[in-house]
Amino acid sequence: MKHEAIATPGVSVPRLQFLGRDFTASIVVFLVAMPLCMGIAIASGVPPEKGLITGIIGGIIVGALAGSPLQVSGPAAGLAVIVYELVRDHGLSALGPILVLAGAIQFAAGVFRLGGWFKAISPAVVHGMLAGIGVLIVIGQFHVLFDERPLSSGPENLAAMPARLLGLSTDIQATEIAFGVALLTIAAMLGWEKWRPASLRLMPGALVGVLAGTIAAFALGLEVARVEVPASITAAISLPGDGFLGAYANFGIVATALAIAFIASAETLLSAAAVDKMHDGVRTDYNKELRAQGVGNLLCGVAGSLPMTGVIVRSSANVQAGAITRASAIMHGVWILGFVAALPWLLREIPMAALGAILVVTGWRLVSLKHASHLYRDYGVLPVVIWATTLIMVVATDLLTGVLIGIALTVLELVPHLRRLRLRVFEASEDGAHAITLDGAATFVSLPRLAETLDRVPHGTNVRIDASRLDAVDHTSAEMLRDWFTRRRASGASVEVTGGRGKFATLAGG
């Protein structure tokens, strides 16, 4: 179901007639965000309140500044792995300086209008990265289901999984009890998502799962590890100390900041692009979104909390709940703040195994074999190889290495077009239509300029594209073009293509 987002430029308060729908949507997003904020923090190796602080900043601050009106920002599963390794190697105190620098880099990227270049990252790399992250989350949080801590690396966690299962016995002890709570949580979550009544369709499965695990543990007086949160949320804020600036003398700190800035920006803009497909309203301003994320991560660094990105699960819940303006994202941050300030004792009743179970399901869903099938069906073997290689290297080495190897492999797509790599784009107005001529090869190298040209076409204007001199289209450009053709036709405007052949002709034909 698509919803129309209404733009109100220069107005900080949304129109009164939209407040009802935004209010309802904000409650739904709040219910989705609470268990995820805490679960992602635990998966990152930090206290759960660190994730809640990031959720508050992502809602109230970034929600007000965002370039994607319906996207919701907060702690992301996609960064849990890199943060876990960071805290393990450098300690929790290093998180602040890293996020301040990463936020400043993101803000500068937005100021210098580099947002369009993130569109040029191959979808195979991005989805391979997310799939690798999903695998790492599953094999790491698997151990939390038994009230045990994850080991220091993906391969170690994977190797230890059989021993966890084989160690279970009929003699019910703490390990078996925690695992039972986790299974109950997963069963309640998946069962609710499959059989929930239509009248309660907006009730998130993750919340139902956590409630089931928490109520069972409380009612039966089960001895399982529970979430630990401070009595006051302000106690979780770690302001910069004396050695804050000195941390930048460590090359590892600076390199990690660059990695987080890059990965957080890519994940944010991927999520924003997905959100744009869900509604018919205002499109994302990528550079404004980067600036907003930069401010958010800078503030997270000052507060000593987790990094943030735009997150697709909470954003899709926002759209499906009927949000109209950015007010819903802002209000969901207010609800998180109010809840943790007034009811911290309730959070302390949540079993750790229940949050681990939610993260296991979330991680599994990141491993999208459907996307790999789509790549093979539409673009051939090479994109699938890029996807699989990125996934494997993320799991076997680390996140940044996997992504860089995936990006390096995408260069192979340029080899057949090296003699005519350049793409020239011409624009004109013909009989009330916007005419675009393409000459050369459409590859990820030229994608930012092509995307900017296409996005410049006025809304509702008919378009004529002359592709008679277009030699080739790689899969990164093809994915962008597919989305653009779909949006233009959905808006009621006609798109007339002449001279298209091969992959481009298939895209143009819908």
pLDDT tens for residues 164-175? 888 887 767 888
Q: Which residue has the tokens 């999208």?
A: 368
Q: pTM of the prediction? A: 0.84
Q: Whole-number mean pLDDT of the chain?
A: 87
Please give the Cα distance from 460 to 472 (Å, whole number). Answer: 28
Q: Distance between CA 259 and CA 480 in Å, rounded?
A: 25
Which phi-psi region, left, alpha or beta, contains residue 168 (left: φ > 0; alpha: ψ -120 to 50)? Answer: beta
The DSSP symbol for 2 reads -
pLDDT in tens, 56-90: 999 999 999 999 989 999 998 878 888 998 998 88
Neighbours of 278 (CB within 10 A): 18
3-class DSSP state of 466: strand
State residue 144 phi and psi, 5-degree precision: -65, -25
Q: Which two tokens stand for residue 405?
A: 């190897």
Residue 285 has pLDDT above 80, yes or no: yes
Q: pLDDT at position 212, please?
A: 97
> 7-11 contacts: CB < 8 A, separation 24 or more?
7/69, 7/281, 7/282, 8/325
At 510, is the pLDDT very low, low, confident or very high (cuts 50, 70, 90)? low
Residue 14 near residue 317 (C-beta atoms within 8 A): no
- The tokens of 419 are what? 């003699």
DSSP state for residue 457 in the 8-state scheme:
S
Domains and CATH numbers, the chain: 16-352 (no CATH), 369-416 (no CATH), 421-508 (3.30.750.24)
**Residue 384 three-state SS:** helix
Strand 423-430 and strand 433-442: the pairing is: antiparallel
Question: In residues, how long is the chain?
Answer: 510
Q: How many helices (H) and strands (E) does the chain have?
A: 21, 6
> d(Cα 68, Cα 286) in Å, to the nearest integer?
8
Instruction: Return the number of other C-beta atoms located less than 10 Å from residue 250's C-beta.
Output: 14
Q: Do residues 317 and 28 touch, judged by C-beta distance below 8 A?
A: yes
124 close to 375: Cβ distance less than 8 angstroms: yes
pLDDT digits (tens, 9 = 90+) for 307-348: 999 988 889 888 888 888 899 999 999 999 999 999 899 999
Give the pLDDT band (50/70/90) at residue 269. Answer: confident
Which are the contacts of 309, defined by CB distance < 8 A and separation ≥ 6? 73, 76, 78, 79, 264, 267, 268, 271, 293
pLDDT at res. 327 = 92
